[in-house]
Structure 1
């Protein structure tokens, strides 16, 4: 028997990205394929939190797609869906400042998200 219950995952997010998610303009969240995200699936909820605050934003996961690296992810998903305020090159530099090469080597996840109904 399979458990089909949607789960809630709590993830931290930098303010600049949190604001884009909350506005509904960032529709793809980028993460490294950490083992704790292995079960993330469509229908789950992500509760984004600005680290050190009580400020949260809930989104529904629409789709999770794996990519070999961040370049492939940005090309496959469209940079404007990841961050509509930055160029592809700026985004690649920003993402790699957060995740060093050894983390990127784990694989990357494009998580399509949609603001949850209040």
Structure 2
């Protein structure tokens, strides 16, 4: 078994990037796309704001899969996903980003720690 960590490069909207960069967002929500299937604890993620030079790195502490975004928020706690928004607002925001067909792929809760 390899102990080499991988670095993944993912874009974030500014409002979420700022929460990650401040260390207050500890769960990142993603759809279970094929390119994220190998994401695991010990990996790194370099988040960036598209079309800018702004970047921050996090360690992946844990990856959990949920059938829906609603189940993810209930299981992880909305305050870890976005401490600045209510659960209802977060669910609406996530579903604005990812339509129902994407939610059908499954939801990933990625526990992160700012480097």
Give the corresponding residue for 1:87.
86
Give the corresponding residue for 1:25.
24
Per-residue CA distance 1:4-41 (angstroms, 9 max, x = gap):
31000000000000000000000000000000000000
Whole-angstrom CA distance in 2 between matches of 1:108 and 1:54:
28
Give the corresponding residue for 2:8.
9
Whole-angstrom CA distance in 2 between matches of 1:39 and 1:47:
16
Moved over 6 A (4+): none
Give the corresponding residue for 1:53.
52
Cα deviation for residue 3 of structure 1 reads: 2.8
Cα deviation for residue 104 of structure 1 reads: 0.3
Give the corresponding residue for 2:113.
114
Cα deviation for residue 82 of structure 1 reads: 0.1
TM-score (norm 1): 0.96
Q: How many correspondences in the alignment?
A: 115
Give the corresponding residue for 1:96.
95
Per-residue CA distance 1:24-60 (angstroms, 9 max, x = gap):
0000000000000000000100000000101100000
Gaps (5+ residues) in structure 1? Answer: none
CA-based RMSD of the aligned residues comes to 0.5
Pick which of 70-79 and 2-11 moved more: 2-11
Gaps (5+ residues) in structure 2? Answer: none
3-state DSSP of counterpart to 1:6: coil
